[in-house]
A and B are shown apart, each in its own frame.
Chain A
Amino acid sequence: MNFKKVLSSAMVLTLAGSLLAACSNNNGNNNAASPDTGASPGASASAPANNAPQEFRFTLASEPPSLDPALMTDAQSSIVASGLFDGLTRLNSAGEPEPAIATKWDVSEDGKTYTFHLRDDAKWSNGDPVTAQDFEYSWKRALDPATASEYAYMLFYLENGEKFNAGEITDASQVGVKAIDEHTLEAKLISNTPYFVSLVAHYTYAPVNKNAVDGKPAWAAEASTIVSNGPYLLKEWAHGDKLVLEKNPNYYNAANVSFTKATISLVEDESTVFNLFETDKIDWIGAQAGSVPSDQVPGLVKEGKAEIKEIASTYYYLFNTKEKPFNNAKIRKAFSMAINRQAIIDNVTKANQTPAFGLVPASIAGVDGKGYRELYPDTGFGSENVEEAKKLLAEGLKEEGMTAIPATTLLYNTSEGHKAIAEAIVDMWRQNLGVEMKLSNQEWGTFLETRDAGQFNVARAGWGADFNHAINFTYDLIHPKSLNNDGKYENAEVGKLLDEAVVAADEKTRIDLIAKAEKIAMQDDTAVLPIYYYTTVTMKKDGFEDVVSDYAGHLDWAFGKKTK
């Protein structure tokens, strides 16, 4: 990895001259439409062999609500945070953990105690060294009820983490994290959690500087007060407008940081983002940093201007399994079989998504270096067959003692994309099953409340990975006790299998148990109606390398570079 980066840096130097020339052409030329090469040959020849201007520009649809690692909750913040903060580990674009502040770690026999060995040359932007005590302080702070962190549950893996957060114990020293010395951190977990090394790369586990944070709740709201330890420093934060990051010269791995500056504009409108890209004002679209208008995607992909990448998110519809008619598994299955997922992908979503029949997307890891879906394909879980669906529907109705599907409504949150999918699916049900379903869209806040309260027949949902493990898509979505199981799907056996999976002794058994639970829920019960596994469509300007969408579909840019 490092070697590759050094090599690329050398390439940067050799290619720098030509780029500079190209740039000056563009700036001096009024007629931007013609990419002329002969306008200023002299300038091109005399350009010093300098570094190419290493600036990276992209957009976010909304401002990060906070840059305080303990308070961040959304993809937008995480994209900025990946430039500002360095945790114990960092995930590479495949979603595998790599050493960052921690250079190595030891795991105890039972898999419950982790000892991280920290590097001694990491510094905060205020000059303080980054120590194990910082991590202890930060993790306890995130769990402290007084901090009111929404993502505190990410730290419930720690011993007594949940109890401390709930206020059941007030003594923070009982929480399972301790700095042995300046550069050794010990974490005690409630169970064997092999993916803990990936978890600590999550921003909720990122360190904060006690001096900058203590007693200053607003420390992360302004560029002038924020103290960070990552590859970049926050130079300017014009709220609602833009964020400007500059390279951190004191970063321990500064040699591998190529961009000297990153400008992040806050632009909500999709077409405007696309127009900014077209007029060379930004270098990147996609992976939660702006999105390519869906109608444009097929054309752009064909021309090779845009790329499509699978990400770890699933688009599905919830059935309200507590109410007629969708309490009946046969009826649920009939509805799932009566739609044509590929037609929706080809005509509506247009980004080459994969039709989904299971819960866990393909980019989630399994065991032994294989993807989860490679080991347990979802193809057997369901099929699309209109005749079969009609038969199942009739059987299901008979079981419920009904003659027809009563008036039902499909609920979705307001967005053009969701609307088009909902319209297409409702029409398929109408044409294939003869079922008339009403559509109802609600504005986001209202939608969440209605869905949480179970006031729907069928409701749109989506789930993105918090960490790279199948448990994140199964336990959370179909375990009877999960708060995110909004369809209130209940199958004791699924619950039992998942409970066993959480405490399983080894990874192979765990994954096996998860797969078994998923199969029951999806093949037998059709707990939810999966539609597709998300992809992200990305576009980048020529010359940018190592700026990619990571496994979860978030822009990973901090170690990118411009080669020409």
Chain B
Amino acid sequence: MIRYILKKFVIMLVSLFFLVTTTFVLMNAIPGSPLQSEKATSEAVQKNLEAYYGLDKPMIEQYGIYLKNLVQGDLGISMKKKFQAVDKIIKESFPYSLKLGIASVITSIVVGCLLGILAAMHHRKFIDNFAMVIAVIGLSIPSLVMAPLLQYSLAVKIRAFEVAGLNGPLDYVLPTIALSAASIAFIARLIRSTMIEVLNSDFIKTAKAKGLAGHWIVWRHALRNSMLPVVTFLGYLTAGVITGSVVIEKIFAIPGLGKFFVQSVSDRDYPLIMGITIFYAVLLMVCRFLADIAYVLVDPRMRAGGKGK
């Protein structure tokens, strides 16, 4: 296992290097610069600025400097948010995204699994259709519409919740609903489709024949095997949801990572773009890695094979 983890780690580092390079090139290829503003600045001022941020050096040298600093764990300083360290910006904004993300992932899994199991157990009956309709409705309304509607109806008209911010536990309700609606549906459908398959498979039939009670079959055998695709999906869902939904962060005025990322791209704030991209990538890779391990643990076939991939 240690060998496996070590190998994974090296691969991650290599991927990360490629990612850093690609992003660096792409970022510099986009028109615009962090130093431009609507009102033109004189050439002298522009030169001062470029010199200050090292943008007057050739690109390859800038890249070298960045890599060197990165290896030392220095993500640099934002060019637009004057003198705020990139790692500090991430450290401050990520907890908002994380907390909201965790709330949404848990909600998605719990509600999604419940709907999925319910549907699979009553396959082709009314409950199946009903559960799926509910799930699919959540998926059908874009967050662009759902979030403002929730905000207007529940926070402005009824005033049951706050319009914006994440100050108390109640404030999580609206953004969590908006953020998890789509993944609830995804998980519910995934669970349902694999579970129907599993429920029809031989080992379940054997379990039934052995006289195991219905719900016990579901919990002990079927669900476990149906979780497989969900686990794969979860790695991405977690990373995706944690790094935040730009739309929801904007509408509910949540100072999460997503907001900073979009801003950094439109500001052409090179160090911040790099920093958040790297952070996002590492997060994604770690989640993937954990999902891989979970995959091995969950899938009995994989375990039997013992190859662990």
Q: Which residues of A contact B (CB under 8 A)?
A: 32-33, 62-63, 65-66, 68, 71, 73, 145-150, 152-153, 162, 165-167, 217-218, 220-221, 238-241, 265-269, 271-272, 275-276, 278-279, 281, 443-446, 448-450, 452, 466, 476, 482-484
| Max chain A Cβ within 10 angstroms of own Cβ: one of B31, B52, B89, B92 | B31
Contact B253 A266 (CB under 8 A): yes
Contact A65 B82 (CB under 8 A): yes
Contact A268 B259 (CB under 8 A): yes
Contact A484 B255 (CB under 8 A): no
Nearest A residue to B79, CB-CB = A65
Taking CB atoms and an 8 Å cut-off, the chain B residues in 19-36 that contact chain A are: 30-33, 35-36
Instruction: Give 30 pairs: A residue, B residue, CB < 8 Å, sorted on A.
Output: A68-B82, A145-B48, A148-B48, A148-B49, A150-B45, A150-B49, A153-B41, A166-B42, A217-B83, A218-B84, A220-B82, A220-B83, A239-B84, A239-B92, A239-B255, A240-B255, A267-B164, A267-B253, A272-B164, A272-B250, A272-B251, A272-B253, A276-B163, A279-B162, A281-B163, A445-B33, A445-B267, A446-B31, A448-B37, A449-B33
Residues of A contacting B49 in the complex (Cβ-Cβ under 8 angstroms): 148, 150
Residues of A contacting B51 in the complex (Cβ-Cβ under 8 angstroms): 145, 148
Contact B164 A276 (CB under 8 A): yes
Residues of A contacting B266 in the complex (Cβ-Cβ under 8 angstroms): 443-445
CA distance A466 to B159 in the complex (A): 42
Q: Which residues of B contact A (CB under 8 A)?
A: 30-33, 35-42, 44-45, 47-49, 51-53, 80-85, 89, 92-93, 148, 151-152, 155-156, 159, 162-165, 250-253, 255, 259-260, 263, 266-268
Residues of B contacting A68 in the complex (Cβ-Cβ under 8 angstroms): 82-83
Contact B259 A240 (CB under 8 A): yes
| Max chain B Cβ within 10 angstroms of own Cβ: one of A33, A272, A281, A452 | A272
Residues of B contacting A165 in the complex (Cβ-Cβ under 8 angstroms): 44-45, 48
CA distance A114 to B177 in the complex (A): 62
Q: A166-B44, A267-B253 are in contact. Are A446 and B30 (CB under 8 A)?
A: yes
Contact B260 A445 (CB under 8 A): no
A-B Cβ contacts below 8 A, count: 147
Residues of A contacting B164 in the complex (Cβ-Cβ under 8 angstroms): 265, 267, 272, 275-276, 281
Contact B268 A445 (CB under 8 A): yes
Contact of A153 among B36, B42, B52, B80 (CB under 8 A): B42
Contact A271 B81 (CB under 8 A): no
- If A445-B31, A446-B30 are given as contacts, then 6 extra A-B residue pairs at C-beta distance below 8 Å, sorted by A number, are A148-B48, A150-B45, A275-B163, A445-B32, A445-B267, A452-B40
Q: How far is the CB of B44 from chain A (nearest CB, A)?
A: 3
CA distance A449 to B30 in the complex (A): 10
Contact A146 B52 (CB under 8 A): yes
Q: A240-B255, A268-B253, A272-B163 are in contact. Are A150 and B84 (CB under 8 A)?
A: no
Residues of A contacting B45 in the complex (Cβ-Cβ under 8 angstroms): 148-150, 152-153, 165
CA distance A221 to B37 in the complex (A): 21
Nearest A residue to B38, CB-CB = A448
Contact B156 A275 (CB under 8 A): yes
Residues of A contacting B81 in the complex (Cβ-Cβ under 8 angstroms): 63, 65-66, 221, 239
Q: A150-B41, A221-B82, A446-B31 are in contact. Are A279 and B156 (CB under 8 A)?
A: yes
